[in-house]
Amino acid sequence: MIKIVFTASDTWIGRLIRCLTRGKVSHVMIQYPSDLWGGEWIAEATATGVRKIPADRARHHVMAEFQCSFDPGPALKKISAHVGSSYDYAGVFVLAWAIVSWRLFRRKVRRPLNNTKGQFCSEFVSRFFRAADLPGTERWNPERSSPQRLLQYCTKHPDLFVESPSPS
């Protein structure tokens, strides 16, 4: 059972992400079971890069979670190459700059930087959605994604994602 988990930390960076994206979540990650290691694990992009970690060490301030109703196996294999990648600090900065430029000056910033070597959380999960060939994601630029956008996508596609009633 693969889940997409959304969190909203109360740190300054979490609050800043929610403010910039006008969202209720600031982080997104993929939860999966592991027969080899046992229990539930998380694949996520954090300040230290893309990592896999036991779920109980990563699940804090959970706001929503969705179980995938499609076969995620092939898509997870496709994005596995990103595990161990560095964090995309430049991409996050440019995304924030693009949002602020639009809000203040109504000027769009189009693909100012593409760094597929590094990942930030919503970029990593967007790549998973695209690798799964989910409808409407084929034209997404993962580097322009946000946790809020992914939350809205999951909410609007109950045929692909089943929301868990009470996150823990």
pLDDT for 136-154, tens place per residue?
999 998 888 899 999 999 9
What pLDDT sits at residue 135? Answer: 97
Looking at mean pLDDT, say which of 12-16, 28-32, 76-80, 97-101 comes out highest: 28-32
Q: What does R_g of the chain's alpha carbons equal in angstroms?
A: 15
* Block residue for tokens 């997104």: 28
Residue 94 C-alpha from the chain's centroid: 17
Q: What are 156's two structure tokens?
A: 């609007």
Q: Read off φ and ψ for residue 67, nearest 5 degrees.
A: -85, 135
- pTM score, two decimals? 0.83
For residue 84 the two structure tokens come to: 């161990």
Work out the percent of the chain whose per-residue pLDDT is above 90. 54
pLDDT classification of 130: cutoffs 50, 70, 90 = very high
Rounded Cα gap, residues 19 and 147, in angstroms? 12
| pLDDT at 116 > cutoff 60 | no
pLDDT tens digits, residue range 53-99? 999 999 999 999 999 999 999 999 999 888 877 666 566 666 665 66
Residue 105 confidence class, pLDDT cut points 50, 70, 90: low
